[in-house]
A = this chain, B = another copy of it.
């Protein structure tokens, strides 16, 4: 199998604080997002850490999604990493950001597993995204 993977590093701001603090809701959003992105869900693990954040991972056949949230700040650190060409990671990310009520996201897409003779490297592309106005 090709080593190329696409890894999205996302800083999500302005999210709904109640959602960010609820591990069951966060699990449901990430699993639905993986399915929306044509990924095969294998398992998931979510838990609440003190005082109020949620950490979670969804393992998919194509690699993984993870999230770590700070409800009091409306902030979540999100990762979506997929290998192969069949998944649609950007659809999964949009699904998550919409369902978190995110207003602004800073995203870096990293192309991983780029072979250069005997070594492997990665390459990066960044963008900012404003999803909705806070006053909307």
Q: What residue of chain B has the Cβ atom nearest to residue A11's Cβ?
A: B120
Q: How far is the CA of A1 from the CA of B51 in the complex (A)?
A: 8
A110 at the interface (CB under 8 A from B): yes
> How many A residues face the partner with a CB closer than 8 A?
46
> What chain B residues lie within 8 Å of A14 (beta carbons)?
118-119
Q: How far is the CA of A75 from the CA of B117 in the complex (A)?
A: 12
Distance of A123 from chain B, by nearest CB (Å)? 10
Q: What residue of chain B has the Cβ atom nearest to residue A7's Cβ?
A: B9
> What chain B residues lie within 8 Å of A51 (beta carbons)?
1
16 A-B pairs with C-beta separation under 8 A: A9-B110, A9-B112, A11-B121, A14-B118, A42-B47, A43-B45, A45-B57, A45-B59, A47-B59, A66-B66, A66-B81, A68-B81, A73-B115, A77-B112, A79-B81, A106-B122
